[in-house]
Amino acid sequence: MENLLINKEHKLDVSNFIRVGDLSYFEGPMLTLFEDLNTGNFYLFDWVDRDEKSNRWLIYNVSPEYLLQYLSGEITHTTLFENRVEKNVYYMDIDSQNDSFRDFEAFELSQISEKYLPNPDNFFDVENCLAFEEIKTVLTKSLFLAH
């Protein structure tokens, strides 16, 4: 796995995150949506790397508007990433034998490896999304409640 430049003073509290569903699932989750129950904010866990003992995820805050645009095929994964709500991006290495993300800490990245940036040609594929309707409903409800 890539060596990371991190800011250990800035952690992301994931203790109140609930899994909404996988936006992309191929032999395991690749892009998973979570909601912070305290704030109502949405976060993507974006799988970027692995080694023999753990999987690495980038974690970033995204808006329901951009998520719905991504789900409708209007924007790419790169555009979704570039338009995240906060510029902060966190990472978490999750042990392959223990997939409970609550057992691990998420630290802010000082710099993102080029290798970890989304592919600019990557559009949403409903075939890889097992919970499409549930995810869309949660996002639409969030937008409705915000207005």
Residue 3 has pLDDT above 80, yes or no: yes
Residue 72 has pLDDT above 70, yes or no: yes
- Lookup: tokens for 99: 């997939």
pLDDT value, residue 89? 97
Instruction: Provide the mean pLDDT of the chain.
Output: 93
Domains identified in the chain, total number: 1
pLDDT value, residue 62? 98
Choose among 137, 107, 83: nearest CA to 13.
Answer: 107
pLDDT value, residue 102? 73
pLDDT value, residue 144? 85
Give the range of the structural domain holding residue 103, as residue numbers without chain letter. 5-146
Residue 124 has pLDDT above 70, yes or no: yes
Q: How confident is the model at residue 21 (pLDDT cuts 50, 70, 90)?
A: very high
Q: What percent of the chain has pLDDT over 70?
A: 98
What distance in Å separates the CA atoms of residue 139 and residue 86, rounded to the nearest whole number?
18
Higher local confidence (pLDDT), 97 or 35 = 35
Choose among 44, 41, 51, 125: nearest CA to 90.
Answer: 44
Q: How confident is the model at residue 99 (pLDDT cuts 50, 70, 90)?
A: low
What distance in Å separates the CA atoms of residue 123 and residue 109, rounded to the nearest whole number?
25
pLDDT value, residue 147? 59
Burial 62-93 (b: 16+ CB within 10 A, else e): bbbebbbbbbeeebbbebbbeebeeeebbbbb
- pLDDT tens, residue by residue, 35-68: 999 999 999 999 999 999 999 999 999 999 999 9
SS3 at position 113: coil
CA of 123: how far to CAs of 23, 36, 79, 95, 106, in Å? 11, 25, 10, 28, 26
User: Which residue is it, tokens 């915000």?
Assistant: 146
